[in-house]
Structure 1
Amino acid sequence: MNSITTITPDAGDTPAELQPHNVEAEQQLLGAILTNNDIYDRVSPIIDGSHFYDPVHSRIYEAAVARIAKGALASPVTLKAFLEDDPGLQELGGASYLVRLAGAAISSYAARDYAQMIYDMAIRRKLMDLGQEISAKARKVEVDSEPRQQIVDAEQRLYELGEQGAVNQGFQSFLRAVTDAVNVANAAYQRDGNLSGVSTGLIDLDKKLGGLHKSDLLILAGRPSMGKTSLATNVAFNIAKAYKKGIRPDGTEGAVDGGVVGFYSLEMSAEQLAARILSEAAQVPSEQIRRGDMNEVEFRRFVEAAKSLEACPLYIDDTPALPISQLAARARRLKRQHGLDALFVDYLQLVKGTGRSENRVNEISEISQGLKAIAKELDIPVVALSQLSRQVESREDKRPQLSDLRESGSIEQDADVVMFVFREEYYKEREKPGDHELEKMASWQDEMSRLHGKAEVIIGKQRHGPIGSVDLAFEGQFTRFGNLVQPWQQGSDDRM
């Protein structure tokens, strides 16, 4: 191979010779592109001009790309006119350097390997630069630069660096898209419940939703005391309890059943949330757990439930008023350290925006878009709880609707699924007539008997499935939702 000289860029605080680079790989790749422009299509998904170490090579690459993008030829002859005044190229011998690059390219078949090598070296340099930047920021003490925020920013930058090249895949062929769709359908067919998503542990809800789908944002809304937090903790616990690790159909290692769950509890403390889950698992009323009012049998059940849940991959973050940027950063960290298959946020209105918007509606829009972005970026279902406006209470029919969502426009638009928790028993209980109204009292008792222990999940929006309602059982003392046994199933199919 002909000898090709090159110059090295100014690397700031780090000496040039310590910066990871491979000038020969850059020369080989550029030479291959200048002799065969079709090679650009093979390497463009991997690198761009910023990945080159030598700034002259970067400018040559960008000039060649500009020509190729217009459908014109990029060769030493055609590029000469654009680069002959470049001072860096003149130091290397001017236009003759382009000719030497093309003449030295003997391995065009290995262009992708060279491109990957150039990319890897660029990432190493960016890691070094990021390390120096973090160090410089930490050294500089400023009022508006809190250490915690610096950690969040650094984590976000590192995660973005790690995901480069993986997220921006660009166009894919229809054949590949069809193959992916068939694989998802096959995985659903192989499962007992015929689910394409993560099972909620509630049979009828799974049938309606097909499980919780990756990259989906699901909104679970309801008025206070409807049980939306209970339903969310029940589903989160069911997913974590069913977790099994193994080799998935695509050959990667991960959850083959259930999953690792992250739960942001912005309203309740981690201890209160754990008490709810233990109440469900041990079948001991949550108020008795809080008071420690348990007999020996109940306490033994409580301890055994606590032991069985020790290895449950359910991670709780109860930091109040968490900004959406930190929420995303912590989710990335959890996925990197322990894996993450589903994320719950209780609840959406308690998440903070970036503070750039003074309008509450715009802030909620920013938060809902941020949650949807997390779902897509981490490829997991995100279940966010949401409050409903008081207008529900003023209607005769208390069943919630999409328009009842607070600041509903953005939430309704960004969500893939919107569900409402509704317990008619809660409202009927407050309509109790006076003791002297015997006829009304008898009618009220019949209604209460019919509604007791029943809840309804109303699916108001679903992008890839039907809307409608699902009946569930609700045990208030254990804050537990379960599968409702229908009258025709009594004695033959216990689904609780």
Structure 2
Amino acid sequence: MKLENYEAEVAVLGSILLEGTLFQDVKLQPYHFANVAHQKIFRAMKGAFNQKEMIDIVVVTTHLGEQMKEVGNTTYLLKMAESVPTTVNFKHHEQLILDAYLLRKAKEQALRYVQAPSEEGLHKLIRNLQYLYEATDDMEEKSTYDYLLEISKEMQSPSKHKANLTSYKVLDDMTGGLQRGDLIILAARPSVGKTAFALNLAAGHCKQGGSTTVISLEMGSIQLLKRMISLESGINSRKWRGNTFSQEDFSSVSRTIGEMAEWGIFVHEKNRTLSDIRTTIRKRIFENPGKNHVVIIDYLQLIQPETKRERRDLEVGEITRELKLLAIELNIPVVLLSQLSRNVEARNNKRPMLSDLRESGNIEQDADIVAFLYREDYYHPNSKEENVTELILSKHRNGPTGTVILHFDKEMGRFSEMTEKEYKEKRGARSREEQKQRRLHSV
């Protein structure tokens, strides 16, 4: 173990320069750094954080002022940030700095004792070493007792730890809502309605007072917001293309826009890399503390990994693993949309299975919930089950699996729950129609 860990110090400072919001979780102090220049850089970061500024190279340079010459100028900061391929190991590097600091202080105490050994000096050495480790104990993993205490507090104040209900009762009964720390995969073939369903989740959460961050890699922000306006106002989404709105439509849209302006909805369209996405999410939560956050990302296969791998499945595995870790770290649910492979098209029964996930292994492994959308009329346009959508929970780490039946209004992009009675009636109508067709055919 090193007395001075220069590489870990560079990794921690470089990570913060890349993702300024990491600083809010930092447990280190300037004196933990062995390198004097690094102490000054960290103090500048702390000054920016205390003034509620978003930390980046420009802000840190400003706070350093005349001290920039002593830390190696802007080039040193740039190289520091460029040397960090990923921030996923940030906490580990932070611990390495702390370990090195403890070793240095322990060595100092031991040298003092060796220079003037005595029984009293020995007791003082033991006390000082104990104090050192107790002072940094909050950096260590919590004990079982700590976790049990946390569970007890959660039971006493359930409102502070509640999940995010989706407004779909059957789904909420199965899952308890979107749970904090969960990575939720929502997958379907193209044009089945996964983006529309995700927007329904976003709207429902916002209307309950929550904050929703939508990161779209496929559609622009304007297009997504228009779809949400159609969903909420009840106007046909095709009217946006030809601008064929009636006066009643204008009134309805204006009213909806006024309501949505009060929501905690944030739509981002320019994120492409995993690093960009992580930074955006952390920044949104940092700027809106105390909110009930949900993140929706559309969609997995368009995310660019931070490092190129020899195989695509390894890249996808890195993405899902880091998004799962982010969900745990920030204590938020992350809903990640995903495409399905074409394998499903080759089967007679085209209901999706876990093996249909593109680059499947890691997605299934990292996800807490894997849900599929399936529509019979997607494959059979003349199906009597038109607009009926099955939301199939194929994996649920902490609860049951099963199917939720939804009605999908394509023109408004609106999903609503169907009761079992409504679904049976629809299936019964289809069965009677099929019998009638068979009789006509036999004549």
The alignment's TM-score, normalised by the length of structure 2, stands at: 0.67
Code of the residue aligned with 2:36 in structure 1: it is A
Q: 1:484 to 1:97 in 2, by over 3 A?
A: farther
Q: Contact (CA 8 Å) 2:113, 2:122: kept in 1 or not?
A: no
SS in 1 for 2:380: helix
Quote the Cα distance in structure 2 between the aligned partners of 1:13 and 1:177.
34
Please give the residue correspondences for 1:66-145 in structure 2 after superposition, counting only pairs within 5 Å.
89=111, 94-96=114-116, 111=131, 116=135
SS in 1 for 2:163: coil
Q: Does 1:336 pair with 2:274?
A: no
Structure 2 unaligned blocks of 5 or more:
1-33, 45-94, 425-443
Alignment partner, residue 247 of structure 2? 296
Q: Does 1:284 pair with 2:235?
A: yes
SS in 1 for 2:238: helix
Alignment partner, residue 418 of structure 2? 484
Code of the residue aligned with 2:341 in structure 1: it is S
Query: Which fold has the larger relative contact order, with Cα–Cα distance below 8 Å and residues 6 or more apart in sequence?
Result: 2
Q: 1:307 to 1:179 in 2, by over 3 A?
A: same
SS in 2 for 1:286: coil
Aligned-pair distance for 1:180? 4.0
Aligned-pair distance for 1:49? 4.6
Quote the Cα distance in structure 1 between the aligned partners of 2:192 and 2:157.
34
Please give the residue correspondences for 1:317-332 in structure 2 after superposition, counting only pairs within 5 Å.
317-320=268-271, 322-332=272-282
Please give the residue correspondences for 1:71-470 in structure 2 after superposition, counting only pairs within 5 Å.
89=111, 94-96=114-116, 111=131, 116=135, 169-173=140-144, 175-181=145-151, 184=154, 197-243=163-209, 259-320=210-271, 322-339=272-289, 341-429=293-381, 432=382, 447-448=383-384, 451-470=385-404
Aligned-pair distance for 1:482? 1.4
Aligned alpha-carbon RMSD (Å): 3.6
Code of the residue aligned with 2:408 in structure 1: it is F
Quote the Cα distance in structure 2 between the aligned partners of 1:185 and 1:264.
33
Q: Contact (CA 8 Å) 2:405, 2:423: kept in 1 or not?
A: no
Code of the residue aligned with 1:474 in structure 2: it is F
Q: Contact (CA 8 Å) 1:49, 1:58: kept in 2 or not?
A: no
Code of the residue aligned with 1:170 in structure 2: it is E
Q: 1:97 to 1:405 in 2, by over 3 A?
A: same
Q: 1:337 to 1:51 in 2, by over 3 A?
A: farther
Q: Contact (CA 8 Å) 1:279, 1:289: kept in 2 or not?
A: no
Question: How many aligned residue pairs are there?
Answer: 337
Quote the Cα distance in structure 2 between the aligned partners of 1:266 and 1:10.
41
Q: 1:467 to 1:93 in 2, by over 3 A?
A: closer
Aligned-pair distance for 1:223? 0.2
The alignment's TM-score, normalised by the length of structure 1, stands at: 0.61
Spell out, residue by residue over 1:48-72, the C-alpha distance to the aligned partner (whole angstroms, 9 max, x if none): 45446xx8634246xxxxxxxxxxx
Quote the Cα distance in structure 1 between the aligned partners of 2:35 and 2:261.
54
Alignment partner, residue 255 of structure 1? none
Alignment partner, residue 86 of structure 1? none
Quote the Cα distance in structure 2 between the aligned partners of 1:386 and 1:309.
27
SS in 2 for 1:229: helix
SS in 2 for 1:478: coil
Code of the residue aligned with 1:295 in structure 2: it is S
Quote the Cα distance in structure 2 between the aligned partners of 1:483 and 1:473.
6
Quote the Cα distance in structure 2 between the aligned partners of 1:403 and 1:93.
64
SS in 2 for 1:477: coil
Which has more helix, going by share of residues?
Answer: 2
Alignment partner, residue 85 of structure 1? none
Q: 1:107 to 1:288 in 2, by over 3 A?
A: same
Aligned-pair distance for 1:486? 4.2
Name which one, 1 or 2, has greater alpha-carbon Rg.
Answer: 1
Aligned-pair distance for 1:240? 1.5
Q: Contact (CA 8 Å) 2:182, 2:328: kept in 1 or not?
A: yes
Select the residue among 86, 94, 105 that pairs with 1:57: 105
Spell out, residue by residue over 1:119-144, the C-alpha distance to the aligned partner (whole angstroms, 9 max, x if none): 6xxxxxxxxxxxxxxxxxxxxxxxxx
Aligned-pair distance for 1:94? 5.0
Q: Percent identity?
A: 30
Q: Contact (CA 8 Å) 2:113, 2:125: kept in 1 or not?
A: no
Aligned-pair distance for 1:349? 0.6
